[in-house]
Structure 1
Amino acid sequence: MSGEPTLEQLIAAARARAGDGDELALLDAVIAVTQNSSARADAAVDQVVRMVRRAGHSWTVIGERLGISRQAARQRYADRVEETPPTVGLIRGRDLDSALAATLEAAEADGLSEAGTEHLLLGLLTDGVAAATLEQLGVTRDKIRETSHRLFDYRVGASAQAPDTAFSAEAQAALHAAEQLATERTPTCAPIVATTPQLLAVIATNPGSRGRRVLNDLGVDLADIKRLLHCYINVPRTALGRRPRRGGKRQQARCSFCGHPRSEERPLVAGPDVWICADCVALCADILRQRAGTTPRA
């Protein structure tokens, strides 16, 4: 009978060696107890690396513990330990993909290994409805950067090498909540697409998030954000995405995008079975100007 320890025994021995330490202490311990083992040693290290990644640590930190570079750590373990099951039926819009890429670049520019929700705000200024909304409220990249550096403890330039940047736990939670919001508010007949309005709404309505603290410091009114995003995040959950008509009773004309009723202050323009108000027309014009590379209206 082979005296080779089982995977469970290797992990147990590592836990005993690490004591009450965190996941990184456990990683150090499992490396130590598997140095002279074979067969299941790699599996034991894989399992602990997976735990370290779940705890939010970057490949840079893991590589340092393993005595290798972050690139080598990622190449060796990423395919074996990363667990990113796709969300069934959900698509990320091009504007959201661009925003997320810009978010990581903003965090790297700050010399950080994690991108927070304040960096998501910077990313949201890249393209789409969220960019037009923030610009309409007077939020700029320079203002976000200045406020973030004042509110949070950034050690800019502390690392000589570019960090292996990942989304912070708060940023990941915001993205997940935005995707859930898109799922809940998409009409049943349409594909589920997560875009920048949902992400901005999630950040703005979370009073504890770093992004919301930045918006508060800049004097941005949450009510204004809700008003400008209303027609993008409050689509009724019906077969056609419209409020059902009841008993043939004539209903008051409302904007088909934001839902506000017609009034002297908010006139409506009629189309084929749709209406649009002046505020939604202005927001659409801002988005089209931005995409065309022209200056948004004041």
Structure 2
Amino acid sequence: MSEEPTVEQLIQAAHARAGNDDELALLDAVIALAQDVSTHTDAAVDQVVRQVRDAGHSWTVIGEHLGISRQAARQRYTGRVDRVEEAPPPVGLIRGRDLESSLSAALAAAEADGLAEAGTEHLLLGLLTDGVAAATLERLGATRDKIRDASHRLFDYPTGPTPPQHTVFSPQAKGALAVAEQLATERTPTCAPVVVNTPQLLAVIATNPGSRARRVLDDIGIDTADIKRQLHCYINVPRTAFGRRSRRRSRPDERSARCSFCGHPRTEERRLVAGPDVWICADCVALCGEILALPSGARSK
């Protein structure tokens, strides 16, 4: 195995990736390299854990080698080594750990319902597992019990015991995931790796009027507009070279005014306030006010 790269080698690689001498471009490149290394490391551990399981070793033995308990090893890796491959990401796209955990939880929820396919209502349940989507749903009052009860009222699920089966994602759920991946691709700065996380998936299933997840949200009284406001700054990043405007300190051009946070242009309905080389729209101002009004612990979710 080759030696671990030094800090100087990593910075040199980041310079090559950035392609110019701009300090912020270098920062973007270093962050991208760190994400690549972290993702590949996680994937390597997942693959080897799968091989160990296939060889017949128990979760107790695996936990001992990982330095965690049997229960923790099983909870952390069962979904990641056995489930997520049901809907592999396209080449060149990375799924965040929060999204992988959510997809695994969605399949587990469908299995618990005795279903052969996990629908978008199960994706909604899975999104309560981790990440920005979980914090958003919890903030708006969504719970697993509410979502589960609404799903069982709205849809036909088996009532008796069912034999074990290999659950997969429904075509609608796969379609929602594909749209979320496309959204992440469109909104990621061109210098950064495309990473899809839970905000994109929640935005897709919540704003699709025909999705089962949307029907569940309507049933439990959660307004889709509230979800969109909460996720606004996570999914609306202009796809420019560095995902931001020039750092030149001057008043922005009013003829091409766009919100520097969400990327939307100025319209009659969307008013903008100008700053040094930046604009901010009324929606983003309102969202900032809501975030700052939260307790400090809740803002970090």
Alignment-derived partner of residue 192 in structure 2: 190
Between the aligned partners of 1:184 and 1:210, the Cα distance in structure 2 is 25
Alignment-derived partner of residue 178 in structure 1: 180
Matched, 1:152 2:164: no
Alignment-derived partner of residue 124 in structure 2: 121
Residue 106 of structure 1, CA deviation: 0.5
Between the aligned partners of 1:230 and 1:244, the Cα distance in structure 2 is 22
Residue 218 of structure 1, CA deviation: 1.3
Pick one of 253, 269, 290 that aligns with 1:279.
290
Q: Which amino acid counterpart does residue 90 of structure 1 have in structure 2?
A: L
Deviations 1:147-175, CA, capped at 9 Å, x for gaps: 0000000113341x222110001000001
Q: 1:150 to 1:84 in 2, by over 3 A?
A: closer
Deviations 1:30-55, CA, capped at 9 Å, x for gaps: xxxxxxxxxxxxxxxxxxxxxxxxxx
Which structure 1 residue ranges, 5 or more long, are not aligned? Answer: 1-81, 262-269, 290-298
Q: Secondary structure at the match of 1:91?
A: strand
Pick one of 130, 136, 142 that aligns with 1:139.
142
Compute the TM-score of the two structures, normalised by the length of structure 1.
0.58
Q: 1:99 to 1:146 in 2, by over 3 A?
A: same
Between the aligned partners of 1:85 and 1:98, the Cα distance in structure 2 is 14
Alignment-derived partner of residue 226 in structure 2: 224
- With 84-93 and 219-228 compared, the bigger mean Cα shift is at 84-93
Q: Which amino acid counterpart does residue 178 of structure 2 have in structure 1?
A: H
Q: 1:84 to 1:106 in 2, by over 3 A?
A: closer
Alignment-derived partner of residue 95 in structure 2: 92
Q: 1:111 to 1:150 in 2, by over 3 A?
A: same
Q: Secondary structure at the match of 2:107?
A: helix
Instruction: Work out the number of aligned pairs and report it.
Output: 198
Q: Secondary structure at the match of 1:153?
A: coil
Q: Confirm or deny: 8 A CA contact 2:190 2:240 kept in the other structure.
A: yes
Q: 1:284 to 1:204 in 2, by over 3 A?
A: farther
Q: Which runs of 4+ in 1 moved over 6 A?
A: 82-85, 273-276
Deviations 1:118-172, CA, capped at 9 Å, x for gaps: 000000000000001101111110000000000000113341x222110001000
Between the aligned partners of 2:86 and 2:145, the Cα distance in structure 1 is 36
Between the aligned partners of 2:123 and 2:167, the Cα distance in structure 1 is 13
Between the aligned partners of 1:283 and 1:87, the Cα distance in structure 2 is 39
Match runs of 1:1-298 below 5 Å:
87-159=90-162, 161-243=163-245, 248-250=250-252, 257=261, 277-281=288-292, 282=294, 285-286=297-298, 288=300
Q: Secondary structure at the match of 1:97?
A: helix
Q: Secondary structure at the match of 1:214?
A: helix
Q: 1:248 to 1:237 in 2, by over 3 A?
A: same
Deviations 1:209-255, CA, capped at 9 Å, x for gaps: 00010011112111111100000110011112124589942589x99
Q: Confirm or deny: 8 A CA contact 1:128 1:287 kept in the other structure.
A: no
Q: Secondary structure at the match of 2:241?
A: coil
Q: Confirm or deny: 8 A CA contact 2:86 2:169 kept in the other structure.
A: no
- With 82-91 and 109-118 compared, the bigger mean Cα shift is at 82-91
Q: Which amino acid counterpart does residue 165 of structure 2 have in structure 1?
A: P
Between the aligned partners of 2:89 and 2:253, the Cα distance in structure 1 is 41
**Rg larger for:** 1
Q: Confirm or deny: 8 A CA contact 1:93 1:194 kept in the other structure.
A: yes
Q: 1:239 to 1:279 in 2, by over 3 A?
A: farther
Residue 278 of structure 1, CA deviation: 3.6
